[in-house]
Amino acid sequence: MSRSAKGAALIAALAMAVSVFSQAADETAFTHAERVAVRALAVPPGHTPQEAPDPALADFGQRLFFDPRLSGDGRFSCASCHQPDRAFTDGLALPEAAGRGHRNTPTLINVADNPWFQWDGAADSLWSQMLLVVENPRELANDRLNLAHTLYRNEDLRAAYRRRFGPLPRMSEEPRFPAHGSPQAAPDSLEGRAWRRMAAADQDAVNRVMANLGVALAAWQRRLVRYDSPFDHFAAALADNPDPPPDEAFPAAARRGLKLFIGEAQCTLCHSGPDFSNQAFHNLGVPVTDHRDTGREQGLRRLAASPFNAAGPYAGEESDADRLRFLPPPESLRGAFKTPSLRNVARTAPYFHDGRFATLEAAVRFYLEPPEGETLGQREATLDLIPDLSDRQVADLVAFLKTLDSAPLPEAVTTPPERRSP
């Protein structure tokens, strides 16, 4: 080969190397617009979670969360399904407590300021959503009257309640407070008739006990806040540098996945903001199971019927009752479910409201290749904006999602005092 030919070959090789290097840089460096989009997903610098003003109330809520006496038969607690070492989920497709549930257990981390709770939004406050769990026959299978009796019978619970809220109603006085009576029971059943024969003032007293327990549990859940994932550290570095130095906790695949997430894959249409959720309800066209869960349609009806909603007599002064006046017709949201947060998503498998997907990859691929089958309601047209993605792009998205896991919460927050390490 002549000297000139060797020179030309060397120049071509160098040009190819520069091209490959530039392409790799383009895949992991971020434009100004992309940096703005990432900033919208990150927690603002200096953000301090708002905790309940009464630490003793939060401590009481923490004890209640781990206490099986909140359940009808004394076998299950809130922690039976919301397990701290699983990011407050249970690792099951469907929960198993008093019965087998029909919706996947969501995490409790960072839920404090959500506007709606449960997959169908049947509760509009953190304190009231707990009450639905207590009276669900598949979960804690209790009722508010029996729970008030349980508090009254147990001196430790009665004393703890009194310190926070004042004395309990005198539950020993029958027939004012019958031992067996449930507002959830059929009106012509023994329990249903017992509740309905109670004076309105006594029903109100029991309802206030129930609401107060919800307030205590909510105060503790305000401590379950974590925004310190590898993504958060990367977002902070990205604010100062469009191409931060390589980081083992946030590898090149995660960078490519983040660029896809905020760009071509259109993920932020629903998974937006620091909690990676727009807190809205969407119909993804998920094929129905035997349960035929109607989602938000059912949730809106449950919310309207609840005495514990924001317009009810037990809501605090800060409740926003006006937003209940502008809710859409229930049937318009048939088959829609709340957009879950993606924080700690790698630790909260399986996925979707019915836990049908065991892996993150399977959940991502659903958006690209939705399975055939009967659906309820109308699948949202916005899903048609999602382009076909290559296998590598799917893997990159999964790599990014795995960077949203935060460090575990401290033992003092996630364990009742009697179980903590010495």
| Per-residue pLDDT tens digits for 384-414 | 889 999 999 999 999 999 999 999 999 999 9
Q: Which of the residue ranges 44-53, 126-135, 340-349 would you say has the lowest mean pLDDT? A: 44-53
**pLDDT above 80 for 162:** yes
Average pLDDT over residues 111-122: 95
CATH numbers and ranges of domains, the chain: 26-49+227-293+335-411 (1.10.760.10), 55-224 (1.10.760.10)
Nearest-angstrom CA–CA distance, 93 and 103: 8
* pLDDT range class, residue 2, cuts 50, 70, 90: low
Cα–Cα distances in angstroms (integers) from residue 162 to residues 59, 110, 180, 392, in the given order: 14, 29, 23, 59
Mean pLDDT of 295-321: 94
Per-residue DSSP letter, 96: B
Query: In the chain, what percentage of residues exceed pLDDT 70?
Result: 91
Q: What would the DSSP string read from start to end of 176-243?
A: TS-SS--TTS-TTSHHHHHHHTS-HHHHHHHHHHHHHHHHHHHHHHTT-----SHHHHHHHHHTT-SS
Q: What is the mean pLDDT of the chain?
A: 91
Q: What is the pTM of this model?
A: 0.91
What's the distance, CA 29 to chain centroid? 32
Residue 318 has pLDDT above 60, yes or no: yes
352-380 pLDDT, tens digit each: 999 999 999 999 999 998 888 899 999 99
Partnered with residue 123 across adjacent β-strands are: 117
Q: For the residues 19-27, what does the mean pLDDT come to?
A: 48
Q: Is the pLDDT of residue 224 over 90?
A: yes
With a cut of 80, say whether residue 13 has pLDDT above it: no
Model pLDDT, residue 49: 63
Q: Is the pLDDT of residue 33 over 90?
A: yes
What H or E segment, with its residue span, contains residue 92?
none
Across the range 244-263, mean pLDDT stands at 95
Whole-angstrom distance, CA of residue 308 vs CA of residue 118:
15
Backbone φ and ψ of 337, nearest 5° = -135, 160
Give me the helix-helix angle, 144-153 and 155-165, nearest 10°: 100
289 falls in which pLDDT band (50, 70, 90)?
A: confident
Q: Are 333 and 283 in contact (CB under 8 A)?
A: yes
Cα(254)–Cα(388) distance, rounded to whole angstroms?
Answer: 19
Q: How would you class 167 by CB atoms within 10 Å of its CB: exposed for 0-12, middle for 13-18, buried for 19 or more?
A: exposed
CB 339 within 8 Å of CB 270: yes
Q: Give me the pLDDT at residue 248, please.
A: 94
CB atoms within 10 A of CB 272: 18
The answer to whether the beta carbons of residues 403 and 238 sit under 8 Å apart is no
The per-residue pLDDT for 50 is 65
pLDDT, mean of residues 252-278: 97
pLDDT at 323: 92
